[in-house]
Amino acid sequence: MIILCSLLVLLLQFKGRVTAVPILPTKVTVEITNKLNNESLTLHCKDKYNDKGVVTLNVNKTYRFRFYPNYFFPLTLYFCHFVWIEAEYYFNIYVQKRDGYCFHNRCPWEVLENGPCKIKSESRECFIWKTSYVEKNNTFSS
């Protein structure tokens, strides 16, 4: 009986873990779409270790990048520098504690004049630009 119980507890723990984190390390794709009114959007995303480079997007165009979130500790943080003619902002586009594996490992965003919106399966969550939101500001060197 005791053995059965501990087996059950083990099983439940295992199941709980699987729903939170995939069994094997899995890549997440961040997708950023330029939804500005009529401006090209230049963006530069990086984390502490990887620089995804500078890209410029025309209106309605989407840029994607993929990475493995940290498997053991939810500490992965990607931030982007967004620039268009009138404005320049930083935003934490992927915060592992906030975003996890998003929806089927896809994290789509739309960038608007007022701020970025996270597209969820049945809703959207919009953020207002706020430069101080960037935690790893100082790792931008140029």
Ligand X SMILES: *[C@@H]1O[C@H](CO)[C@@H](O)[C@H](O)[C@H]1NC(C)=O
- Read off the DSSP letter of residue 102: T
The interface region with ligand X, picked from 14-22, 25-33, 115-123, 132-140 by CB under 6 A, is 132-140
Considering only the C-alpha atoms of the chain, give the largest distance between any 2 of them, rounded to a whole number of Å. 70
The correct pick among 8, 12, 54, 59 for binding ligand X (CB under 6 A) is 59
Distance CA 128, CA 58 (A): 22
Q: Is 141 in the site for ligand X (CB under 6 A)?
A: no
Q: Which is nearer to ligand X, 90 or 94 (CB)?
A: 90
Contact between 114 and ligand X by CB under 6 A: the answer reads: no
- What is the distance between the alpha carbons of residues 45 and 79, in angstroms, rounded to a whole number? 6
Tokens of 68: 């493995």
Which tokens in the block code for residue 73? 């500790």
For residue 63, the 8-state DSSP code is: E
Q: Is 56 in the site for ligand X (CB under 6 A)?
A: no
- Of 10-18, 44-52, 98-106, 127-135, the segment contacting ligand X by CB under 6 A is 127-135
Instruction: By CB under 6 A, tell whether 132 contacts ligand X.
Output: yes
Tokens at residue 57, please? 């997007």
For ligand X, the binding residue among 13, 26, 60, 114 (CB under 6 A) is: 60
Phi, psi of 19 (to 5 degrees): -70, -30
What's the min distance (Å) between Cβ of 134 and ligand X?
A: 6
Closest CA relative to residue 85, chosen from 41, 115, 34, 117: 41
- Considering only the stretches 19-27, 95-103, 114-122, 128-136, report the one whose residues sit in contact with ligand X under the rule CB under 6 A: 128-136
**Is 131 an interacting residue with respect to ligand X (CB under 6 A)?**
yes
Does the footprint of ligand X cover residue 12 (CB under 6 A)? no
